Amino acid sequence: MQLLRFPAALGKLRGTAYVSIIDTGVQNPNGLPHAELARALRPQLSTSRMQAASGHLFTSGDIDEGAQYQDYRGHGTHVAGIIVAQADGQGVSGGCPECALMVQAVQTTDAIVGAAILDAVARGVQVANLSLGVPIDGTLYKEDSYCTTHPTMPPCNALAIAAQREVALVASSGNDRFHVQFPANQSGVMAVGGLEFVSQTPTATFWTTPQSAILPDYPGPTAFPDCMVNGNPSSSTEGGSNCGPTQFLVAPARNVLSTFYGGYEWEPFARCMDMADGANPQFVGPSQTYAAEPDYLNGYVEYVASGYGTCTGTSMSAPHVTAAAALVRSSNPLLNASDIRRILQRHASGNDTRLDDRMGYGYPFVDNAVIAGLSGASLSNPTAFDATVKNRLTPLFSLYSGTARNHVYTIAPQMAVAAINGTLVPSPAYRLNQNSANVTCSPPCNNTPVVPAPAFQISSPDNSPASGVPLYLAQDPAFGNGSVTPSSLVAVSTSTGTVPTGMAWTYSTVDINVRSARIGAALQSSYPITYARVGNTIAGYPYFPSITTYGSNPKSTLSVYVSHVSPLASGPDMVPLYRMSGRCGEVASSTCDNVGGTGYNPFHVSHRYTTSETGKSSLAASGYKLDGIEGYLFAKTYTNAPISGAVRVCRLLDPVSDEMILFPATGSNGKSCNPPFPSYASNSYYSTQLDATDWIGWGIPNYGGNTPPSVSITNPTNGATLTFGSPVTLSASASDSSGIGNVRFYANGALVATDNTSPYSKSWTPSAPGSYKIHAVATDMHTTPWAATSNPVQITVGSCPNTIPTVANGGFETPALPLGTYDDAPAGASWTFVPVWGGGQSGISANGSVFTDHNPNAPAGTQVAYIQGANTISQVINFPSCGVYRVRISAAQRDPFYNQSALGIELYVDGAKIGTTELTPLDRNYSTRTSAQFSVTAGNHTILFQGVNNGYDNSVFIDSIQVISP
C-alpha cells in the first residue's frame, strides 16, 4: 500500500464506488463476515454461481467460501481485504475502505465466470476484480484476440456487456512466468502483473522468485531469468508473474498481507493461510505445520491475531489496481472505463511510458491518479492535474418507480442503469407455494417422469401467476428409497406459473414397494421493477452507459460531492449520504403488511437516505441494509449556506405509500423544505419527517438553468376557524421571472383546486369538518419548469368541541396475567402489538416478570405494556368529534440491569409522526409524559407508539394511556 501511495490518496478520498470480486467467496459463515470486511460487504448485492447436474447455472445466496470450497478457503477473503479492509488503525487497511463490496462467488469455468460478471453488472457494479484465470478449451492461454473473434462465447459476451456499461475490469496476469492468461489478456481488461520487494526494503522489482527457491517443501522449478518460458508454463502455482504485450500495470504479488479466512488455508505449501502466530518460526496450518519463510524468521511479521495471512500471486496484485481504479472512479463517477485506464496509465511509475512486457506502465501512484480524477482528467484530457482541487461535484441521479412507489438516488451511472433496466436489488420477491415436494412411483419406474403433488407454483408479489421464472430443483438423497436424475436442474415456470420438474427415475425397481423421494426448490430471481428518470437533465452528461436512445437523458435535482474533504479553506468534514434499502418481508411497513388497507402495495421497495450515523444504526435495526455511500454533503452544523448556491437537501416521507423523497430547498435562503407535489408521484403526500428533521445537509441544486418561483398563501390566514358547509376562499401570491403557469392548492395533501391565471384564487368547500393543512404550489413557465411549495396554513373547519375519546384497555389490565409473567401480542387486549423476534417484541407484562422485576410496580393496577426494540403497539380509537388533542401516558425505561442504553418512544397518528421525543421516559421510574398536539376529524384514527432504538437491547414500559384536550 505504501509503494502505491494509498495512504496519501485516502487523505483525499475514501471511496464510494461499487466494487465486485469475481472470486471464491469471502469469510461469511451464517452471515457473520470477517470483522475487517463487515463495513464494506454487501451480501444483498452479492451472488454465488453454481452449476446444476443438468448443466444449467443457478444462483445461491451463500457467498461464504465454505459453500464453494470445503477444505481450502481464504483466497477471496484475502483479495477482498486488499480492496476494502477497514482503515481503523488495526489489522490491515484496504485501498478503498469506504467502497461497497459485492461478492460474486464462482468456480472458474467459462460459463460460471461469465454469469457472475453479468450478475455484478446487473446489480450496478462499477469496478470488477478477477483474480483468476479462466480455461478456454482446456487452456488458460488463449490468444489475445480471442474475444474479438469469439464475441458470443462465454465469458467474452459478459466482458462485452460489462464494457458497454463502462465497468472497469481488472484481472490477474497469472503466476506461471508465461504469457498473460485469459481473461486478463483481452481487450478492455486491465492485466496486472506482480512485484516483489527486495530483502525487506522498499525497493520493488518484477516478481520472478518462485516459492520453490525459498521453500524447500514447495513443488516447482527454480527461478527463470524472466517470465517468458520457452515451451510450457511453469508447473509451480506461485512461480513468478506472467507478462506479455497486454501487461498493463504491476502491483505487489509476493508475501502480501491481508485478511484471511480464520482457521483455514488456501495454498499451504506457499504459506497462503491464516497465520495466527506469525512471530513463531513455524506456521501451524489447519492440516499440518510448515517451516517459516526467512522473511518471517527475521522478525518481519507485525500481526498475531487470527484472520490474517500472507499470500503470493498476481491474484494479490490485481486487487491493488482494482482499489486504485475504484478510487479514481469515486473521484469522478461519470468517467468511462477508458478514462480510468488512461488516468492510471499516466500516473504510474513508467511516467506514461510503457516500460516493457513485464512491467507494463509500471505501478500506479494512486494519490496522483485521484488528484487527476478530481481535476477532471479523462481520455480526451489526460493532462488535467491540479493538486489544489480538494473536492468535486457530481450529479445525484434521480429515479422513481410508480410500481414500487420508491425513489432511488445514486451517483453511480451503472447503478442508475440497473434501476432503469429493472435489475436493481432489492426488488419484490416472487412467491413459491412450497419449498419441497414428495414424489412417488409404482414399479416399474424406469424413466418415469417425476411429478410432485402438489405441483410447484410461482406467483408474482400480488399472487398472480408468474411465467418464465427459473426455479432450482434438487433431490434430497437422504430421504426415501428412490433416486431421480438429474440430481439437480433449473426449470422455468409456465404461463400458469406451474414449474415442470423435468426429472425422471433412473432405474426400474425390482420389488413391489412404492418408491419415494423428495425434491427441494429455491427461487432464482426476484420480480423486476423498472425506474424512470425524474428531475432535470444534466449539462454535459447526455446519456447513461449502454442507454443512448432519444429521450433517455440522465436526470437529477441535486449535485453532491465525491469526497469527505471540505472544498472550503477550512471547516468540518463533509458527511456521507447513506443509501439503505429493504423490501416487503425484510422491513416492517403497513404498505407491505396491511393487506387490503390504505396504501397496501405488495410490489413496494423502500429506500431510506441519511447522513447520520445514529440514523443509519436505527434503520439497520429496523431491517434496512446499507447499499452504499451516494456522495457527500456539507454538514448541518452550518446555519446558512456554506458556499454560494448551496441549499438544504430536504428529506420527507409519505407515510401512506412509505416512499421517501430528497429534493432541494427553495426560498431566498435555500432553507424551505415544504413538501413537493411532483406530477410523476400522483397522490403522494410527503408530510412526515424522519428523526425529527426535514433536511440532512447542504448540497447544490439542479434547477435546470431555472430559478424556482416564489409563492405564499394570502387566504385563509393561519389558525383560522371556518364554518363547515361554507365555501373557503383559497388565494395565493406567486411570481417568477419567466411567468407563472399555474397555482395548485392542496388540503392535507389532496389537490382541491387549480388556477391558471392571476390573481390566483379558488373556492373550495371541505367535505367534512376537521383540521386542514393548506399548501399552494406554483409552477413557472420556464422551458425547464420548476415548482415551489408555500409555507403551510393550518385551518379548522366546523365546530370541534374536542370531545375526549375512550381508550380501550388504556391500563393494559386485560387480559389478566399471572404475577411474574408476560405475554407478547396477547389476544383480547384491544391493542395491536408488533413483536418481531431478532429486533425485540411488544406485549403486556405483569409486575415481577423478567421484564419488570427490577422496576417499580405498575403505577396503576398490576400490568403495563412493554416495547422492546424498534417495535410498536397501536389501537384504532373512535374520536366523537373533530378537534385538537394530545396523548398522555405514564412511562419508564426498563431498569439498566437489562437496558443497554435507552429506548425512545415516538407517537404516530394515522401514520404521521407527532412531535419528537416528548413521550420518551428519562429513567426506570414511571413519569407522566404528554405528546405534542395533533388535529383529527371525527371518526376512527390509529394511535401508534413506536420504539426507537439505537442498535442495543432496550425496552420501555407504558401505562395509563389517555387522550386529552390541549
- The predicted pLDDT at position 291 comes to 42
- The predicted pLDDT at position 837 comes to 67
CA atoms of 697 and 641, how far apart (whole Å): 10
Q: Is residue 550 exposed (0-12), middle (13-18) or buried (19+ Cβ within 10 Å)?
A: exposed
CA atoms of 539 and 554, how far apart (whole Å): 10
Query: Is the pLDDT score of 275 beyond 70?
Result: no
Predicted TM-score of the model (pTM): 0.81
CATH 2.60.40.10 placement within the chain: 710-797
Span 344-389, pLDDT tens digits: 999 999 999 999 999 999 999 999 999 999 999 999 999 999 999 9
CA atoms of 269 and 249, how far apart (whole Å): 27
Please, which pLDDT band fits residue 508 given cuts at 50, 70 and 90? low
3-state helix, strand, coil in the chain (%, to 5): 15, 35, 55
Mean pLDDT of 33-61: 85
Contact 450, 439 (CB under 8 A): yes
Q: Is residue 868 exposed (0-12), middle (13-18) or buried (19+ Cβ within 10 Å)?
A: buried
Mean pLDDT of 257-278: 73
Q: Which residues 6+ apart lie within 8 Å of 626 measured at CB?
A: 42, 100, 578, 579, 580, 616, 620
Instruction: Identify the CATH homologous superfamily for domain 710-797.
Output: Immunoglobulins (2.60.40.10)
- The predicted pLDDT at position 300 comes to 36
CA atoms of 452 and 438, how far apart (whole Å): 6
Span 419-473, pLDDT tens digits: 999 999 999 999 999 988 888 777 777 777 888 888 999 999 999 999 999 998 8
**Residue 839 phi/psi, 5° resolution?**
-115, 0
- The predicted pLDDT at position 754 comes to 98
Q: What is the pLDDT of the chain when averaged over all its residues?
A: 89
Which element (helix H / strand E) includes 498? Answer: strand 498-499
Would you state the cell numbers that stand for residue 552, as one nine-digit string? 433517455
Contact 777, 750 (CB under 8 A): no
CA atoms of 212 and 886, how far apart (whole Å): 79
Task: Give the Å distances, CA to CA, from 886 to 424, 775, 827.
Answer: 43, 24, 27
For domain 822-964, give the CATH number.
Answer: 2.60.120.260
Q: Indicate the DSSP class of residue 514.
A: P
Integer-rounded Cα radius of gyration of the chain: 31
**What proportion of the chain, given as a percentage, has pLDDT over 90?**
70
Contact 193, 184 (CB under 8 A): no
Q: Which of 604, 630, 599, 601 is nearest to 427 (CA)?
A: 604
Would you state the cell numbers that stand for residue 501, as one nine-digit string? 420438474
Query: Is the pLDDT score of 333 beyond 90?
Result: yes
CA atoms of 796 and 936, how far apart (whole Å): 10
- The predicted pLDDT at position 798 comes to 80
Mean pLDDT of 956-962: 98
Query: Is the pLDDT score of 268 beyond 80?
Result: no
Please, which pLDDT band fits residue 514 given cuts at 50, 70 and 90? low
Span 528-576, pLDDT tens digits: 999 999 999 999 999 999 987 777 899 999 999 999 999 999 999 999 9
Task: Give the Å distances, CA to CA, from 882 to 324, 337, 482, 839, 887.
Answer: 62, 61, 69, 36, 15
CA atoms of 310 and 245, how far apart (whole Å): 29
Please, which pLDDT band fits residue 230 given cuts at 50, 70 and 90? very low
DSSP 73-123: --HHHHHHHHHH---SSSS---SSTTSEEEEEE--S-HHHHHHHHHHHHHT
CA atoms of 660 and 657, how far apart (whole Å): 9
Mean pLDDT of 949-965: 93
User: Between 578 and 202, whose confidence is greater?
Assistant: 578
Q: Which of 275-279, 506-510, 922-926 has the highest mean pLDDT?
A: 922-926
Q: Which of 279-293, 477-491, 876-890 has the highest mean pLDDT?
A: 876-890
- The predicted pLDDT at position 283 comes to 42
Please, which pLDDT band fits residue 228 given cuts at 50, 70 and 90? low
Contact 654, 675 (CB under 8 A): no
Domain 6-375, what fold? Rossmann fold (3.40.50)
CA atoms of 459 and 464, how far apart (whole Å): 5
Would you state the cell numbers that stand for residue 422, as one nine-digit string? 429493472
CATH 2.60.120.260 placement within the chain: 822-964
CA atoms of 648 and 638, how far apart (whole Å): 10
- Its CATH class, for the domain covering 431-523, is mainly beta
User: Between 106 and 167, whose confidence is greater?
Assistant: 167
Q: Is residue 286 exposed (0-12), middle (13-18) or buried (19+ Cβ within 10 Å)?
A: middle
Mean pLDDT of 857-883: 94
CATH 3.40.50.200 placement within the chain: 6-375
CA atoms of 789 and 424, how far apart (whole Å): 32
- The predicted pLDDT at position 620 comes to 94
Q: Which of 16-20, 21-25, 491-495 has the highest mean pLDDT?
A: 16-20
Q: Indicate the DSSP class of residue 732.
A: E
